[in-house]
């Protein structure tokens, strides 16, 4: 049975993993005596009032248990006997409903459902023997919930006074795809010292607020409102030992404390989805804190302090990537969050809950403190950041141990290969007048990166665009992280490019049906030169920069074929091929793409070269649908460039595009628009692409092969396949 020492701590409050120390402090502040941490929970003593206060006021506890018995039981029979020997008439009145649960590891009771069944049997049989009646079992909101936990053969039996997890405050009617538990949000706010910051006049902002949990919990604290005041169900309400008068008195006291209102708005939440903000408003109203919160629909890029807010707390829970979809999207969002913090929130504190330790590198900020936190079954990292010049670091790099990484044998081998490439390719690029080229392309398989060098104009700077090829799952994660750290440590040393101008991306093979998404929204564009022309590139917002370097010779081929031509650019992307065609003397052009963003980018590239006039038409459309409609018109083109994606299932596109499956249909449609002496240039980056042999029987087909493979991509001869197609009998012009 309960030992004398344990009897002094008759209650056990469980906590989310990572917050037991805060729960112990909270219970002490509530007046609990004999507080002692135990695993993921806290033992405490005191009268029944103390347990009631914990249920009503704890912002951190999952559940509060009344400890009934602790004993040794070698097997299920011994467990059943010990349970049956307890006086259950003290706890269950005739007609009361019962639920039982079991957790832990016992050498003989290996299934929790079986343990719960033996617990129920012991209670029911004891009551039947004592009163002649048995309780009904009700798993949902029973009058009494009894829980047993085993640590080996040592078992504890307890009454669950909370009834269901206390993180369910009762205010959240709607949540996002992966809602943050309310008590985890409260724990993060307490860890970030929000009560002290609020008392000093600081504000709170959640720029990715979702259903508003951080803001609502912050307002509950500021308003001194008991988190469970709105709950209607507790596990003690149907318990025979329940003191209704005591409980009602504590609730009345809590309502009186909640009547003292804060004099100002204490927190603001924003989200790019109007539906999320509508849910947050409804939840705040249900929690009784709507008047102290402000909400707005806005993207992360619009987050900024209010006028006069020199300090405050930015607290948010970005998507984890694994649960919510594309990892690249999460990385881009974190880079954007780091940029916003660095540029606008100097002097503020930040508390960021990240789904993986490596996500912190994307922020470009150094954490003052890092904590392991569990949100349900997900292990996360809570980063506490003092935003300022001292906290900045390079996104994508490890914050510590840089010198050690740079000095490692692997890093030195990578540095030697990089230096060798830089000497050879740098001399070649200088001779050819090439300012943007690939410097390294997974030359050493262990260091699976593509490193592209870009020289920008006005200001004249050098950037490195580093793409990390995601490692196969069988490769040890720590080895991948170590090699990334080694590569990033030596890149500035070898190339002379400062770390703030090294952009890192992760490129992985997407499951079929997934799409690469926009990474961020910095709007930071840079002007570069190629072939005597100018193009806008972006190193931060997209997976690709806007200029495919491997198509450098393909674009030059289009320019050579363009004099006097009408030019059609399908899947135009940023219009670089269109610019080359006009530079070669094309009389007019039509650029077709489904993305308005890319068509606007095309316009910027045309403007940068003086070609944006009525001769350069831009069309936003699904290329397949546009081709189907255009085939009925008499217009023909002298030069067509067809460069479709390998796979696309854009929401705005009808159906799915698979280049291997659909290339014959696309080429046939293009050939109906090609002038008799015209040229179709077809390209595909699909690694295993094979041109349908039937096309050669209908058209003059020539694979270009090395003729369009730049020297800086010579290691990967199959980076793209490129073909010239002409009408039968059309003359091939001399080169």
pLDDT in tens, 466-492: 998 877 666 676 777 788 888 888 999
Task: Name the strand (E) or helix (H) holding 465.
Answer: strand 461-469
Nearest to 212 by CA among 188, 184, 183, 185: 185
User: Could you give the angle at which helices 244-258 and 48-57 cross, rounded to 10 degrees?
Assistant: 40
Q: What is the per-residue pLDDT for 735?
A: 44
19-28, 497-506, 520-529, 664-673: range with lowest mean pLDDT? 520-529
Give dist(CA 152, CA 150) in Å, integer: 6
CA-to-CA distance for 372 and 382, rounded, in angstroms? 6
The top-level CATH class assigned to 548-726 is: alpha beta
CA 708, 711, 716 angle in degrees (round to 5)? 80
Q: Which residue has tokens 């740079």? A: 406
C-beta separation of 187 from 18 below 8 A = yes
Per-state percent for the chain, helix, strand, coil, to nearest 5:
35, 25, 40
- Rounded Cα distance, 639 and 587, in Å: 11
What end-to-end distance do the CA atoms of the chain give, in Å? Answer: 96
Fill in the DSSP letter of residue 365: B
- Compute the radius of gyration of the chain from its Cα atoms: 33
CA distance 259 to 251: 12
Mean pLDDT, the chain, integer: 88
Cis amide bond preceding 459, omega within 30: yes
pLDDT for the residue numbered 404: 57
Q: How does DSSP classify residue 306?
A: P
C-alpha torsion angle, residues 116, 118, 122, 124 (rounded to 10): 60
H-assigned helices in 32-111? 48-57, 76-84
CA dist., res. 376 & res. 175, Å (int):
15
The answer to whether 346 touches 551, Cβ cutoff 8 Å, is no
Handedness of CA 653, 659, 662, 667 (dihedral sign): positive
What is the CATH code for 4-160? 3.30.2130.30
Q: What is the pLDDT of residues 394-451, one digit of tens each?
A: 544 434 445 556 778 888 999 999 999 999 999 999 999 999 999 999 889 888 899 9
The CATH topology of domain 182-223+260-391 is Rossmann fold (3.40.50)
Other CB atoms within a 10 A radius of the CB of residue 511 amount to 6
Instruction: Give ranges for CATH 3.30.2130.30 in the chain.
Output: 4-160
Question: What mean pLDDT do residues 168-183 have?
Answer: 78
Could you report the per-residue pLDDT of 495-545, keeping only the tens digit for each?
Answer: 999 888 888 887 654 444 333 344 444 568 999 999 999 999 998 878 789
CA distance 85 to 564: 100
The tokens for 151 are 């640590």
**Whole-angstrom Cα distance, residue 453 to residue 464?**
5
Q: Residue 334 in contact with residue 359, Cβ under 8 Å?
A: yes
Q: Which CATH code is given to the segment(s) 402-507?
A: 3.30.750.80
Q: What is the pTM of this model?
A: 0.61
CA distance 190 to 315: 11
CA neighbor of 670 nearest in space, from 705, 623, 704: 623
**Of 336, 325, 328, nearest to 272 (Cα)?**
336
The runs of H, that is alpha helices, within 585-729 are 596-608, 623-630, 659-673, 695-698
| pLDDT value of position 510 | 40
CA–CA dist 639, 644 (Å, integer): 16
- Which of 553, 551, 543 is CA-nearest to residue 516? 543
Residue pLDDT, tens place only, 96-144: 999 999 999 999 999 999 999 999 999 999 999 998 889 999 889 999 9
CA–CA dist 507, 544 (Å, integer): 10
- Which token pair is 707? 């003729």
Encode pLDDT of 644-653 as tens digits. Answer: 998 876 655 5
* CB crowding 627-664: b at 16 or more within 10 Å, else e: beebeeeeeebbbbbbbbbebbeeeeeeeebbbeeebe
* CATH 3.40.50.150 in the chain, residue ranges: 182-223+260-391, 548-726
């Amino acid at each position: 049975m309960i030992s004398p020492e344990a009897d002094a701590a008759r209650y056990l409050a469980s906590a989310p993993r990572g917050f037991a120390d805060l729960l112990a402090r909270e219970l002490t502040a509530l007046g609990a005596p004999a507080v002692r941490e135990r695993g993921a929970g806290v033992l405490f003593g005191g009268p029944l009032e103390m347990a009631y206060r914990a249920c009503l006021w704890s912002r951190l506890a999952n559940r509060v248990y009344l400890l009934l018995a602790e004993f040794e039981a070698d097997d299920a029979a011994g467990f059943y006997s010990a349970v049956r020997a307890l006086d259950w008439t003290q706890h269950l009145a005739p007609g009361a409903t019962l639920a039982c649960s079991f957790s832990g590891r016992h050498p003989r009771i290996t299934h929790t459902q079986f343990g719960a069944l033996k617990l129920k049997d012991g209670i029911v049989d004891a009551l039947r023997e004592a009163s002649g009646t048995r309780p009904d079992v009700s798993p949902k909101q029973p009058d009494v919930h009894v829980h047993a936990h085993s640590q080996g053969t040592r078992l504890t039996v307890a009454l669950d006074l909370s009834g269901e997890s206390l993180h369910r405050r009762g205010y959240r009617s709607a949540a996002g795809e992966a809602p943050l538990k309310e008590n985890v949000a409260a724990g993060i706010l307490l860890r970030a010292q929000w009560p002290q910051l609020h008392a000093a006049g600081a504000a709170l902002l959640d720029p990715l607020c979702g259903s508003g949990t951080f803001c609502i919990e912050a307002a509950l604290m500021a308003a001194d409102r008991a988190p469970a005041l709105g709950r209607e169900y507790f596990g003690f309400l149907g318990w025979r030992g329940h003191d209704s008068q005591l409980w009602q008195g504590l609730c009345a006291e809590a309502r009186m404390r909640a009547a003292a209102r804060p004099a100002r708005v204490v927190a603001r939440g924003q989200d790019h989805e109007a539906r999320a903000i509508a849910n947050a408003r409804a939840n705040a109203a249900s929690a009784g804190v709507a008047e102290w919160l402000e909400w707005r629909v806005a993207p992360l890029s619009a987050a900024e302090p209010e006028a006069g807010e020199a300090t405050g707390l930015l607290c948010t829970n970005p998507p984890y990537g694994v649960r919510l979809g594309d990892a690249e999207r999460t990385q881009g969002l974190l880079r954007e969050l780091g940029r916003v913090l660095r540029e606008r929130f100097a002097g503020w504190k930040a508390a960021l809950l990240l789904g993986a330790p490596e996500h912190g590198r994307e922020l470009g900020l150094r954490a003052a403190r890092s904590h392991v936190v569990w949100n349900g079954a997900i292990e996360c990292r809570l980063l506490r950041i003092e935003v300022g010049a001292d906290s900045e670091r390079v996104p994508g790099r490890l914050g510590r141990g840089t010198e050690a990484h740079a000095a490692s044998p692997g890093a030195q081998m990578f540095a030697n290969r990089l230096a060798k490439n830089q000497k050879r390719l740098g001399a070649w690029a200088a001779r050819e007048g090439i300012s943007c080229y690939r410097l390294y392309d997974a030359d050493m398989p262990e260091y699976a990166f593509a490193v592209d060098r870009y020289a920008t104009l006005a200001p004249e700077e050098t950037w490195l665009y580093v793409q990390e090829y995601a490692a196969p799952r069988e490769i040890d994660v720590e080895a991948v992280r170590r090699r990334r750290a080694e590569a990033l440590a030596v890149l500035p040393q070898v190339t002379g490019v400062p770390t703030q101008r090294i952009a890192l991306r992760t490129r992985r093979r997407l499951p079929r049906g997934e799409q690469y998404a926009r990474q961020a929204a910095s709007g930071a564009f840079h002007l570069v030169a190629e072939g005597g022309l100018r193009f806008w590139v972006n190193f931060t917002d997209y997976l690709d920069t806007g200029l495919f370097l491997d198509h450098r010779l393909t674009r030059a081929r289009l320019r050579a074929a363009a004099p006097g031509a009408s030019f059609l650019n399908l899947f135009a992307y940023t219009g670089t091929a269109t610019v080359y065609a006009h530079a070669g003397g094309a009389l007019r052009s039509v650029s077709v793409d489904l993305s308005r963003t890319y068509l606007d980018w095309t316009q910027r590239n045309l403007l940068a070269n003086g070609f944006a006039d009525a001769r350069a038409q831009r069309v936003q459309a699904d290329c397949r649908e546009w081709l189907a409609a255009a085939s009925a018109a008499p217009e023909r083109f002298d030069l067509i460039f067809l460069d479709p994606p390998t796979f696309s299932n854009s929401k705005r596109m009808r159906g799915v595009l698979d280049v291997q499956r659909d290339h014959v249909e696309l080429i046939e449609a293009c050939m109906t628009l090609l002038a008799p002496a015209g040229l179709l240039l077809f390209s595909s980056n699909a690694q295993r692409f094979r041109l349908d042999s039937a096309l050669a029987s209908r058209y003059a087909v020539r694979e270009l092969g090395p003729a369009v493979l730049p020297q800086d991509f010579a290691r990967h001869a199959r980076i793209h396949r490129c073909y010239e197609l002409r009408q039968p009998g059309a003359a091939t012009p001399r080169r």
